[in-house]
Amino acid sequence: MRLPILASLTLCLSTPAFAAPTLADWQQTLDAARGQTVYWNAWGGDQRTNAFIEWVNSQTEQLYGVKVEQVKLTDTAEAVTRVISEKAAGETEQGSVDLIWINGPNFLAMKEQGLLHGPFVADLPNAKFLDLSATSPASVDFTTPVDGMESPWRLAKFVFSYDSARVSDLPETMAGFTDWAAAHPGRLTHPNPANFIGATFLKQALIELAPDAAALQLPVTDASFATQTAPLWAWYDALRPNLWRGGEAFPENESVQQQMLNDGEVDIAMAFDPASTAAAIAQGSLPETARVFTPKAGSIGNISFVAIPFNAAHKAGAQVVANFLLDPATQAHMQDITVLGSFSVLDPAKLDVPAQATFDALPTAPALPTLDSLGPTLLEPHASWMTKLTEAWAKRYTR
């Protein structure tokens, strides 16, 4: 049944990486996908994302006869573990995970262990709207080359949010957080670094404080780790006593921290989604006066991807969904603040005029920053830094 797709894939492997797929190949994928249900494993802690995935389901079912069923995860690693268990049990054909919202260390882990299907990105007709040059954000995930093994779907940028009615003297640099916390003891915290956002907070500081930020783009070594993180630990040791609960306890994730900002337990929250503050206001879960800020030197940005496990039962359907996510209309819908508010991953230079107009016509909100106002986008360090950083943090501060 999946023979034609396999054939087309082998064909792809033997041809140059970004050869344009022929229309006939895609038609075969569409035919194979019709009637399939794609189990999309995605973190389920964000209600807007969940609603967006439901919308994707209604669209792809109507357009291509492909249903999308979200498997809500509390942590993306759950899906990785599931694929590993399946591999361990010899399940190589009918795996339960069809599509994973993934990036960074989870992607690196799956890619290194050969748990991914692909390369498939270049086969997607809508890949033509992407900038797939070797160094573009869509081609590199935490410095790991994507190699067509995962397809981009939303842009993320690290931001802080605060209540402008309560706070005005915001820190302008990561180094400035120490003074700010000393002036407002107990009013700052960050998610547990075991969580993605908590780790990003540390990485954001690391990029600013490291003696040689370029070293972070290479895989970590013990020597480079010691050199580059020394100023970070000095900074954190000064910061920690003034954190919420004296730095002894940390919120589980960014949603819990946002709730704490809403409850007034802390003054600053953080997220990987510049639109989350505006959306939270609309839903009543942050005060009207909440706003977003980033350090002057910019903040970490990355792209979220979708990947297909090697043993996915519905690979064709998964590719159809990945392609649908790259459709300019889908990306514009996603960027709508009333929907998701995630910035588009498409290359504006490659969009035609009507598509560009759709983006320009999107509604705006007082708490919604423009991409320009957020400053430069800093590159994610190599994924190995994040793993090592969280481990070192746990060793230093877990008693």
Partner 1 sequence: MTWRAQTQPSRPAPHGRILRRAVLWVVLLGLVLPILAGSFETLRAAFGLHPGIGATRFGLAPWQSLAALPGFVTALRLTLFTGIGSAVLALLLATGFCALMHGRVSTRQGDHMLTPILAVPHAAIAIGLAFLIAPSGWIARLIAPLAGWTIPPEIASVNDSYGLALLLGLIVKELPFLLLVILAALSQLPVNQQLSAGRALGYGRGIVWIKVIMPQVWPLIRLPVLVVQAYALSVVDMAVILGPSNPPTLAVAVTRWFANPDVQMILPASAGAVLIALLTLAATLLWLLAERVVRAIGLWWLRRGGRGLSMQPGLLLTAGLAAAALALGLLSLLALLIWSVTHRWSFPHPLPESWSWQTWHAASWAEAASYSLLLGCTTTLIATTLAIAWLEAEDRSASPRAGWATALIYLPLLLPQIAFLYGLNLLFLRIGLSGGLVAVIWGHSLFVFPYVMIALSDPWRALDPALIRSAASLGAGPNRRLFAVKLPVLLAPILTAAAIGFAVSIAQYLPTLFLGAGRIATLTTEAVTLSSSADRRIVGTYASLQAALPFAAYALALALPRLIFRNRRALLGGHA
Q: Give residues in contact with partner 1 (CB under 8 A).
A: 39, 41, 44-47, 50-51, 54, 69, 71-75, 77-82, 84-91, 96-97, 105-106, 108-109, 113, 186, 192, 194, 244-245, 248-253, 255-256, 258-260, 262-265, 284-285, 287, 387, 394-395, 397-399
| Residue 343 C-beta: closest distance to partner 1, Å | 22
How many Å separate Cα 393 from the centre of its chain?
A: 22
Comparing CB distances to partner 1, the nearer of 93 and 133 is 93
Peptide bond into 309 cis (omega under 30): no
Comparing CB distances to partner 1, the nearer of 289 and 377 is 289
Comparing CB distances to partner 1, the nearer of 122 and 266 is 266
| Residue 26 C-beta: closest distance to partner 1, Å | 28
Comparing CB distances to partner 1, the nearer of 89 and 361 is 89
| Residue 346 C-beta: closest distance to partner 1, Å | 28
| Residue 245 C-beta: closest distance to partner 1, Å | 6
| Residue 284 C-beta: closest distance to partner 1, Å | 4
Comparing CB distances to partner 1, the nearer of 198 and 328 is 198
Comparing CB distances to partner 1, the nearer of 80 and 140 is 80
| Residue 332 C-beta: closest distance to partner 1, Å | 23
